[in-house]
Amino acid sequence: MSESDKKRNYEVLKEEQRQQAEKEEQEQKKQATEKQDQQKQEADKKDAQQKEDILKTEQQTKEDQQKQENFQKEEQQKKDALDKEYQQEQETKKQENLRIEQAAKENANRLAEQAQEMQQVQDAQRLKDYQQQQEQEATKARQQEQPHNQEGHIREAHSRYGIALSDHYDMRDPYGSLARASMAEYGAFLRDRENLNKQIDAEQNPEIRERLETRKQIESSEYMALTSNRIATQSESITGRLNSEEAIKQRERAEAYQEQAKELREKLKENQKDREAKEQTSPEKTKEKEPSQEESLQQKEQERLERARERTEQLRKASKEMTRNNDLER
């Protein structure tokens, strides 16, 4: 082979090597580009997934916050409804107290008026019989006076009258002293109610408050029944008729109050039995008070919101870090 052929072959081989090197270089660049594109696609896909996760988490957080707001709104509505109901209940009790006190005042005034009316009646024998009856009632009331009964604290209506008669009844002035005794009895009734009202206002335990309220209602009903019956009896003495119009009306009132007092006493006894049964079955050591269902739900919702906020913050940081790394690679 001549020198020229060798030279030509060398040039051809060299050209082929150059072309092969270029081809390999292009292939490497292509592979690098494809790899870079693939990494970019994967990074973009991962970034998009993280953004989607952030959006989902933010949406979930908003939903959780909305649920929490709705829950709090419902709780506030419940509280407002309870407050309104309590206000109405207090107003009803206030009106009932005013009604009872007004009725008690009317009975006391009527008893005092009747005492003056009896003094003007001419039938000496009938008045003498009534006077003896009042003396006997005063003696009986003093003998039977008891500060407490089987319910524990209820003040017997007869005890007030017994004390009032003992302090004010005078045989030399029977009718004037009866009027003073009636007003003294009314004053004692008001003082007892005032003491009970103070106890009720100061009491924090709802069960004890309810028992005190029931006791006040019982004492009021029994006082009204006692004084209404006494008005009826005195009306018959004044008119000389067993069933005078006033006597019939007052006895009907007395029966209604007596029935009311009876029902309230039964209610108080049942509550006492239930309370004793609970005390017998309750453990010696009081367990720590567990949160209510509403408090538990509210606490869980709060914890869920906190976790959602933490997750959102983590995803945001991760997204920022990935975007920064992608910018560096580019």
117-139 pLDDT, tens digit each: 877 765 555 556 666 666 666 56
Inside any domain, residue 220: yes
Inside any domain, residue 164: yes
Q: Is the pLDDT of residue 19 over 80?
A: yes
Which range (76-80, 190-194, 270-274) has the least confidence? 270-274
Which tokens is 65 given?
A: 């916050």
Domain total in the chain: 1
Inside any domain, residue 133: yes
Evaluate the CA torsion angle 156, 105, 233, 125 in order and state its sign. Answer: positive
Inside any domain, residue 259: yes
Inside any domain, residue 6: no
* Residue 326 confidence (pLDDT): 55
Could you read off the pLDDT of 278-324 as tens digits, one per residue?
Answer: 777 765 544 444 555 555 655 665 665 566 566 556 655 655 665 56
Inside any domain, residue 262: yes
pTM to 2 decimals?
0.59
Cα(323)–Cα(329) distance, rounded to whole angstroms? 10
Where in the sequence is the domain holding 150, given as residue range(s)?
110-279
Inside any domain, residue 136: yes
* Residue 280 confidence (pLDDT): 77
Inside any domain, residue 318: no
Give CB contacts under 8 A, 24+ apart, made by 120-125.
121/237, 121/238, 123/240
* Residue 221 confidence (pLDDT): 94
Q: Is the pLDDT of residue 252 over 80?
A: yes
Which range (43-52, 99-108, 210-219) has the least confidence? 43-52
How far is the first Cα of the chain from the last one, in angstroms, to the nearest whole number? 54
Which tokens is 294 given?
A: 């509403």
Cα(117)–Cα(111) distance, rounded to whole angstroms? 10
CA separation, residue 111 to residues 118, 169, 178, 298 (Å): 10, 14, 8, 60
